[in-house]
Amino acid sequence: MRIAVLTGGGDAAGLNAAIRSVGRHALRGGDEVVGVLNGWAGLLGDGDTRPLDDAALLGVLRQGGTLLGSSRTNPLRIDDGIAQVEAAMAAHRIDALVAIGGDDTLSVAARLAERGAHVVGIPKTVDFDLAVTEYCIGFDSAVAIVAESLERLHTTAASHHRVLVCEVMGRDTGWLAVMGGIAGGADLCLIPEFPLHLEEIVARIAARDAQGTTSSIIVVAEGAQIAGLTAEAGGPADAFGHQNLARRALGERLADAIESATGHESRATVLGHVQRGGSPVATDRIWPSRLGMAAVDAIRADTTAVAAAVVANAEQLVPLGDLVAEQKRVPASIYQVFEALS
């Protein structure tokens, strides 16, 4: 059997561990493996693939990013895009495809599977917003980076009696902000699920002043909505209709508003793509390795339109469409943990 693997959407630590697992497990079972280059773009037109042998997979486990490249190409928005993908798969003699990605990549995979292609997904997103699965490639590594950044900000905030705003990724959900905030000891967390008014933010900082605490760390998801604060419009939308939220300058606007209202010197730090980069933490090596093997096993069992996910702390095949049917949002119970400890 000729098995292909692709990585779509934003890069994340742990992708290479998954590619390595798919490749090695397939090769040891006598299958042939090819990598699709640059996400769905590699299956448009003539297609763009490369063979994956043991030499190509050597030493990639600890490397961040993706050795196959990625893109936000969306075949669903291209005339005959899915038909082009099917034609490229046929031309490259691809019998089955492992698609690793988030809601956008897996939505395309689900459509392809509906049309009869042999497709298995693996969940990847630093936003952690895919339904059903308890694990997404890249999230744990991103949380570790946010937590370490907040720890470092604490010392300079205390030294200069400042309010420091740390803007992190999170378009529609605040998983990265709230989990990083818990781990990094932030004092206030602003996320899309639980909006706060600017006046309440200012009041909380004033309350800390009254208690003798002259510095504060605020972690804010880039997609948070803060009533009473005007942010810039987002940048141009990508092929999936998502605006570039970094252009909102939410962290900068919030820091300026806090300084104006409280007199506290305030600064903003935008972590940006730092959250995606670097070597994966242990969980982002172990789980991708397990899920990659589960994906190959599903293909060998002639199972399609499923994703190798984590349910009840174990590998489990779930319908591919279930992962993207709805967005997993931060529940009140998690946010309350942050609130109780901040």
In which residue are the tokens 């005339």 written?
Answer: 79
Which entry of 104, 127, 129, 140 is annotated as an active-site residue? 127
Q: Are 143 and 176 in contact (CB under 8 A)?
A: yes
Residue 127 appears among annotated catalytic residues: yes
Report the distance separating Cα 222 and Cα 111, nearest Å. Answer: 30
Report the distance separating Cα 258 and Cα 82, nearest Å. Answer: 49
* Cα atoms found within 13 Å of the Cα of residue 291, Cβ hemisphere only: 36
Q: Are 179 and 331 in contact (CB under 8 A)?
A: no
**Is 266 in a helix, a strand, or coil?**
strand
| Residue 96 token pair | 């089955």
Q: Containing H/E element for 181?
A: helix 175-184
In degrees and rounded to multiples of 5, residue 314 shows phi and psi of -145, 155
Closest CA to 314 of 51, 133, 64: 133
Report the distance separating Cα 221 and Cα 127, nearest Å. Answer: 10
Amino acid of residue 2: R
* Cα atoms found within 13 Å of the Cα of residue 307, Cβ hemisphere only: 33
Interhelix angle 103-114/81-91, rounded to 10 degrees, is 70
Report the distance separating Cα 202 and Cα 134, nearest Å. Answer: 35
Residues 6+ apart with CB under 8 A from 45: 84, 88
Q: How much of the chain is in helix, strand and coil states, percent to nearest 5? A: 40, 20, 40
User: Catalytic residues, which ones?
Assistant: 127
